[in-house]
Structure 1
Amino acid sequence: MNHQDIKKIIQECQKQTKIEYPYKGSFFTPRFKSINHIEVGKSRMISNPITILIELAYVLYKDLRNLLHKWVDFLFPRNQQLVGKDFSSELKGRITFASSEGPEAIPIHHMRVEFWAKTWLGQWRKLGSALSDDQGYYLLKFDQKAARSIWNLSLRVEAYQTTHVYFKDKKAHPHYTIFHREIIRKDDLRGGSYMLETMRLHLWEYRKDYPAPRVVIKDREKDAPQYYSQARQDALAQQFIPYELTKLKHLEMLEQGSHKLTLDYIQRDYPINLSRCIEKRLPGYTRSDSYFGNRQMNGMNRAAFWPDPEEQGSYWVKYFGSCQYETNQEFAFPDAEIKFLLDAEGLPLPSQIFLTGPLTSHEKDAWQKRSFTPADGEAWNQAKRVARVSGSLCTEIDDHFTGTHLNTEQYAIAAYRNLRINPIANLLLPHLKEVVLINHTADKLLLKEFLPISTAMTESGLISRTKDLLGMQDWKGFEPMKSISTAHDSAASDELFWKITKTYVDEFIEEHLEEIKKYWLEIYCFSQDLVMHSVPVFLSDVNWEKLSPDLRKHYLSRLTYYQFKYSFNPELPRTVINGELKAVSPITNQKNGLDISLNDIQNLKESCTYMIFTATYLHTWINEHQYDELGELLYNGVGLRFGSGKNGIMAPESDLAIAPDLEAATKMLWFVNLLSRTEFGFITRNEEGDVNPAFAKLLMDHKEEFLRLGVEVENIESRTNI
């Protein structure tokens, strides 16, 4: 068959395997209480009919309670008009972060503080309001007589944080919630001025137990800095219950020792994926060189094709395996370096594969390198499978979890700690929300429960690797992937989305420039937090002179390729803090908007474009394509066991000793369904009204252009929340 006929079949299979959400369930269908109840093993579900009825009663109770609260709020609204005539009395205080980074507490600037009275009849009276200044101090004017009125039952001072930004009539409307409350005694309000104790708030605190910037969440049900909306919770239940029930059935069969359960049985129980669909239509094609190259270029991996410096027209894709990270002894994870040539249509064809590292359980030489070419027959097909699996695991850890999830989290923490009244909050917060919640869940599901039992990596090794790869992520100098041919759809789509996002960001900043300058302190503090908590540049703390020749060569190969892959410029001047060369570049070094230059504005535009690009489109691409690649157990996966054969992982697909075991198999298909099929929060669908309509319109204006590149703009997520 020619390329066009094959392409048509692939497109038909993409439509057939397209992610849909048809499941509606019924009253007595098992359900999750929340996203936090999902487990790689047996998730905590409500399944017993009696329990479901009790849960219904509890839900009805909560609904009635919420209705009562709304009714009370309706009867006794918080009128924003100040009560009083003589506003000569003062409440003074200061707000700081509870956790200090140095000898002095860090002030919380521009935090909204309000003084309220509640009457004996339940009515609210607003007595005063203020914003904290650059040093966290606030001075709130109020009428002492109105505050000490006999009609007032209680007095309180409340500090507010911005939790969401919604858009109505094309204007941003921040949503504030009470973060901290202090009760004031009326009898203490004597004299013209009253000094409150400093509010030391545990606001978006940085963790100290992880080597990369992460937020503190002790109890995800009670003390998370933000929470999923009910609509997001409902979407998860609707979309994912069928796959949870499938996994539970398989685990029950395993416990019962059922001989009926096989890899093929497990495979057929989950939805058909892209490679299986194509294989039914074109037997053998998904194992061909042509399909291998196509998926490396335009599949989940969206590989970086590095031009061979010595051979024009050749390209290299490199996946670095276990390296020096902690691993187990059950799974292989060799380096895979693949050389490609372009065919007549611009698609990459593999011409050589190098595998470096142990391929069997008895090998110990980490530097043993083997070369394979199409002339090697079956060994060539086996080498492609090994390269596929190593590449998938690298993509999952390096590009998906680290490059989008953790990368976005570092910007989210700094943003929510510092951006409040600067218009940049309205630009960024809709795209940075919820990522810390899913990352907290991933700590358990991905780093503890799934990858350590399904791959060569231990939890400790995974954490070390994420820190290293985060050291190659920087907004400064970043550019989207460049197309190497007209068939390079993923790169063309990158460039298109980047261009649109840049236009959106540039126009937004120019429109609100005066307000942005007025509250430039927030940008400065945002930048300071980013740089201060950034990980060091990858390998910047290594003494190269003390490395062995093999390790030095390997480190240099990783560093060079990562710089190309992640568009990381090592020549940029970078900040050194406590001896660490920080990976993230500062956006500005100016506190005052009157002192900024055009370069500061340009930095702000570039950094905002990068944040939105990473949190939305880049994450969407990898997430949406995971089931395409990882949904067929014997074709691909995230780990190959060494097995018992003398050739280890260099074995045919019929050797099930190197394939996932039955438990890992159902958990893997469950996991990739969780990632690919439980999305909520899209830019153009704007389900919760939290996306700027101007951004959605720009994307919809290019709908057909995206579609020609295989991207449906309606499926581009507005934030990273799964």
Structure 2
Amino acid sequence: MSRALSRLMSALGLEAQDAEPALLEPAELARWYASLSPEERVAVSRELAPRVRAPRATRDPSTLPAVATGRLVFEQDGPQGPLPLHHLKVELWDRDPGAPDDFLGEGFTDGDGHFAIRYDPADAGIGDLPDLELCFFEPQHTFRKDGRVVEAWRRIGSQRGPDDHGGLHYDFGTLRLPYWEYDPATPLARLFVTEEGTPPTAYAPGRSLAMLKAVSPIELIKRQHLLQIRLGQTPSVARLQADYPESMTVRMEREAPGSSRGDAFFGERLLNGMFATVMDRDPEVPGDVCAFRLYFPWNAYEQDGIHCLPDVDVRLRLVDGRVLPVRIVLGLREPGATAPGSPVTRRTFTPEDGASWEAAKRIARMSATLDTELGNHLGQCHFNVEQYAIAAHRNLRRNPLRWLLMPHLREVVLINHSASGFLVGPNGYITRASALTERGIEARLQHLMGSYDWRGFAPAAPVCEGHRYAHAAQLFWRLLGEHVDAFFAEHGGAVEAEWREVRRFSDDLVAHSVPAFVCRYLRARVPGKDAPWFVRSERMDLDVKAAEPPPRAVSAVTHTDVPQPGELDALKQLCRYVIFFATFRHAWANNLQWEDAGEVLYACLGLRWGKGGVLVAEEDPEVAPAPDEATEMLWISWMLSKTNYGLILANEEDDVHPRLVELLRARAAEFAALGLDVRTISSRINI
């Protein structure tokens, strides 16, 4: 409560009954009231109304003499014209400048955005004609310990009407609200925020403190480095590294030199580090041999010609329970080449190549780091979840589906809005520190987003006993299945009763997702063919998505206002998918940033062309990241890993269903055996 609101409530005798009211003159009361925010004025008016107005019997709204009507629509039209803002709460008030406003009535927009609020003009006060004003509210919720929902309403806007309105009917007409609009300037489903504006939501208060606590220890380190660089006293990469807290690989090298650069550790991090991704079988090796392939096709994108980012083809084998690299093929451009599809020279490296093998592994680690940041992290989690968040906020209000999804969709658009300038864009860190240009990054992200779909998704099976990430992913997926099934068992009938909201949610998702993307290599080898080497469980259905013209990447849940057979199960699958990426998958990729990207010479986003090429020793300063980019990288990696707020078990805002909290807590020991502390799993993406 603000100081102004507290003082005014006390003066009006609206605080605790044993509190001594403050004595204020009428003019000072008006001044204090004028200083309040709209939300605080509403609070005062609600408290004051029953004390200054004589009690009266509840009246049938249909008997009230006056009515205010209108229609709410989104600011941006759809293909068929205005899009209705359905099921928003609308309140009608009498404005009283300098004094508490008078509440006149309330209602909800219908499925087409229309509303009608009946009211009594006498409620404006004796001798006062109402100065009409509409206020709009969206629903919020929290859960009690027993799982019961507590609903609340958050004001999102208002519209002034006429002063001293003496008639019995007023039509506000069609009102356009800029509410959770899509950005028309990008092919991705991104929230539209004007240059001077702010997103239609806010971080939870505790998140700012968590960020400050995480960043404070290293902020001065980075500032000191940048100042030294500007003064011409540039520290070496080794000096920069030593100033930051010790990362996992730095500690490993101190305790056992060479341990973090070995083949076994290389394979281990591809399985269980922040790089953890789908492991396809090697299509060139017989099926009875356990061999795998990772391929990063960077030559398809525009590059800056300064950094070296070759195509990387990594072949691995399962040997004595460990996944080991056995061959790395690099498709190297000529230094300075920038165009997509530039000519490349392919060079093959094996463990017998000594120093060149170590250099090739370093390039592969760099490639995996960039792919993780753009794919596993930014694309598959941040931007993928954002498209579900926008569609949900635009459409889910009466449907109890909101209680299941919204805790995991809050704040993602906020952190993504920051990432649009901080990480990507013309001056973003990834743009500056990697070989990809702004256009190259945009093309890569569009291709990635074109490959994500909820339909048919399930975490891939582990490739070996030591594949801890895959074991943990499958365990969490089963846990989410229990949670979602229990929710639908309790609320499935109400979900079906408000299926029109589900249809609009689905329509928005499909309409604003990018076209499905299937690269030429996969088109030639997977759709309609027997391809046992290709892991299908985490991928979209290529037999469907490889059609021409390409369909949208995101599949529809429904096309009707009434659920058809199988569609309720499809909706459950979508919910499970969204929560998985907003919680477990993002936490795994994000929380390991400091472990896997906390040493500049071990892993970075980009290596530069040096006089001796790029296949040189780690210590070559011409190839390593520039000092300013190096200190920024360490700062970012620490910040991402150490900012922890909005955790499932902590449930700081009480918006996560208690069932999910208990399901996760009950499996804490199983996850711990896989190296995952369940206390670190976030409930949403806010970092």
Pair in the same fold by TM > 0.5: yes
Which of 331, 336, 345 matches 1:356?
331
Classify 1:569/1:195 alpha carbon distance in 2 versus 1 (closer, same or farther; 3 Å).
same
Matches of residues 267-282 of structure 1 in structure 2 within 5 Å?
267-282=241-256
Which of 335, 338, 350 matches 1:373?
350
1:352, 1:371 within 8 Å by CA — same for their partners in 2?
Answer: yes
What residue in structure 1 maps to residue 223 of structure 2?
A: 248
Which whole-Å CA distance do the structure 2 matches of 1:624 and 1:427 have between them? Answer: 24
What residue in structure 2 maps to residue 58 of structure 1?
A: none
Q: Which moved more, 1:462-471 or 1:83-92?
A: 83-92
Which of 392, 408, 429 matches 1:415?
392
After superposition, the C-alpha distances for 1:309-340 in whole angstroms (9 at most, x for unaligned) are 44233333324242322210111111212111
- The secondary structure found in structure 2 opposite 1:512 is helix
Classify 1:501/1:82 alpha carbon distance in 2 versus 1 (closer, same or farther; 3 Å).
farther
What residue in structure 2 maps to residue 567 of structure 1?
A: 539
- The secondary structure found in structure 1 opposite 2:314 is strand
After superposition, the C-alpha distances for 1:475-509 in whole angstroms (9 at most, x for unaligned) are 00111121111111000000011111111111111
Which whole-Å CA distance do the structure 2 matches of 1:456 and 1:215 have between them? Answer: 27
Classify 1:401/1:69 alpha carbon distance in 2 versus 1 (closer, same or farther; 3 Å).
closer
Percent same amino acid at aligned positions?
32
2:280, 2:534 within 8 Å by CA — same for their partners in 1?
Answer: no
- Give the CA deviation at 1:174: 3.8
Classify 1:168/1:713 alpha carbon distance in 2 versus 1 (closer, same or farther; 3 Å).
same
Matches of residues 494-509 of structure 1 in structure 2 within 5 Å?
494-509=473-488
- 2:277 is the alignment partner of 1:303: yes
1:119, 1:152 within 8 Å by CA — same for their partners in 2?
Answer: no
What residue in structure 1 maps to residue 596 of structure 2?
A: 629
Which whole-Å CA distance do the structure 2 matches of 1:285 and 1:152 have between them? Answer: 81
What residue in structure 1 maps to residue 289 of structure 2?
A: 313
- 2:574 is the alignment partner of 1:613: no
1:385, 1:636 within 8 Å by CA — same for their partners in 2?
Answer: yes
Q: Which moved more, 1:368-377 or 1:692-701?
A: 368-377
2:435, 2:606 within 8 Å by CA — same for their partners in 1?
Answer: yes
- Give the CA deviation at 1:295: 0.7
User: Under a length normalisation based on structure 2, what TM-score does the superposition of the two structures give?
Assistant: 0.87
Matches of residues 396-411 of structure 1 in structure 2 within 5 Å?
396-411=373-388
- Give the CA deviation at 1:554: 8.5
After superposition, the C-alpha distances for 1:597-652 in whole angstroms (9 at most, x for unaligned) are 3411101100000000011111110001111111111111111111111xx11111
- Give the CA deviation at 1:566: 4.0
- The secondary structure found in structure 1 opposite 2:298 is coil
Where does structure 1 lack aligned partners over 5 or more consecutive residues?
1-61, 541-551
What residue in structure 1 maps to residue 309 of structure 2?
A: 333
Which whole-Å CA distance do the structure 2 matches of 1:625 and 1:495 have between them? Answer: 19
Classify 1:119/1:449 alpha carbon distance in 2 versus 1 (closer, same or farther; 3 Å).
closer
After superposition, the C-alpha distances for 1:400-449 in whole angstroms (9 at most, x for unaligned) are 11110000000000000001111001111111011111111111110132
What residue in structure 2 maps to residue 435 of structure 1?
A: 412
- Give the CA deviation at 1:72: 8.5
Residue identity matched to 1:652: A
Q: Which moved more, 1:86-95 or 1:391-400?
A: 86-95
- Supply the RMSD in Å over aligned alpha carbons: 2.9
What residue in structure 2 maps to residue 699 of structure 1?
A: 664
Which of 43, 53, 59 matches 1:73?
43
After superposition, the C-alpha distances for 1:643-677 in whole angstroms (9 at most, x for unaligned) are 111xx111111222110111111111111112111
Classify 1:633/1:215 alpha carbon distance in 2 versus 1 (closer, same or farther; 3 Å).
same
Classify 1:121/1:671 alpha carbon distance in 2 versus 1 (closer, same or farther; 3 Å).
closer
What residue in structure 1 maps to residue 4 of structure 2?
A: none
Which whole-Å CA distance do the structure 2 matches of 1:335 and 1:323 have between them? Answer: 6
Which whole-Å CA distance do the structure 2 matches of 1:238 and 1:359 have between them? Answer: 45
1:165, 1:430 within 8 Å by CA — same for their partners in 2?
Answer: no
Classify 1:291/1:638 alpha carbon distance in 2 versus 1 (closer, same or farther; 3 Å).
same
- The secondary structure found in structure 1 opposite 2:478 is helix
Count matched residues.
Answer: 637
- The secondary structure found in structure 1 opposite 2:154 is strand
Which whole-Å CA distance do the structure 2 matches of 1:490 and 1:531 have between them? Answer: 30
Classify 1:564/1:246 alpha carbon distance in 2 versus 1 (closer, same or farther; 3 Å).
farther
- The secondary structure found in structure 1 opposite 2:142 is strand
- Give the CA deviation at 1:119: 5.5
Which whole-Å CA distance do the structure 2 matches of 1:479 and 1:146 have between them? Answer: 58
What residue in structure 1 maps to residue 77 of structure 2?
A: 100
- Give the CA deviation at 1:213: 0.6
Which whole-Å CA distance do the structure 2 matches of 1:155 and 1:148 have between them? Answer: 13
Which whole-Å CA distance do the structure 2 matches of 1:82 and 1:425 have between them? Answer: 35
- The secondary structure found in structure 1 opposite 2:91 is strand
- Give the CA deviation at 1:367: 3.8
Q: Which moved more, 1:71-80 or 1:455-464?
A: 71-80
After superposition, the C-alpha distances for 1:516-544 in whole angstroms (9 at most, x for unaligned) are 1121111110000000001000148xxxx
Classify 1:121/1:381 alpha carbon distance in 2 versus 1 (closer, same or farther; 3 Å).
closer
After superposition, the C-alpha distances for 1:38-90 in whole angstroms (9 at most, x for unaligned) are xxxxxxxxxxxxxxxxxxxxxxxx9x977998699357528799986632532
Which whole-Å CA distance do the structure 2 matches of 1:499 and 1:507 have between them? Answer: 12
Which whole-Å CA distance do the structure 2 matches of 1:583 and 1:513 have between them? Answer: 27
Where does structure 2 lack aligned partners over 5 or more consecutive residues?
1-31, 51-55
1:235, 1:680 within 8 Å by CA — same for their partners in 2?
Answer: yes
What residue in structure 1 maps to residue 200 of structure 2?
A: 225
- Give the CA deviation at 1:176: 2.3
- Give the CA deviation at 1:277: 1.2
User: Under a length normalisation based on structure 1, what TM-score does the superposition of the two structures give?
Assistant: 0.83
What residue in structure 2 maps to residue 713 of structure 1?
A: 678
After superposition, the C-alpha distances for 1:241-264 in whole angstroms (9 at most, x for unaligned) are 2222111000111111125x1111
Residue identity matched to 2:594: Y
1:574, 1:583 within 8 Å by CA — same for their partners in 2?
Answer: no
What residue in structure 1 maps to residue 461 of structure 2?
A: 482
What residue in structure 2 maps to residue 139 of structure 1?
A: 116
Residue identity matched to 1:587: V
What residue in structure 1 maps to residue 493 of structure 2?
A: 514
- 2:578 is the alignment partner of 1:599: no
Classify 1:263/1:121 alpha carbon distance in 2 versus 1 (closer, same or farther; 3 Å).
closer
What residue in structure 2 maps to residue 666 of structure 1?
A: 631
- The secondary structure found in structure 1 opposite 2:293 is strand
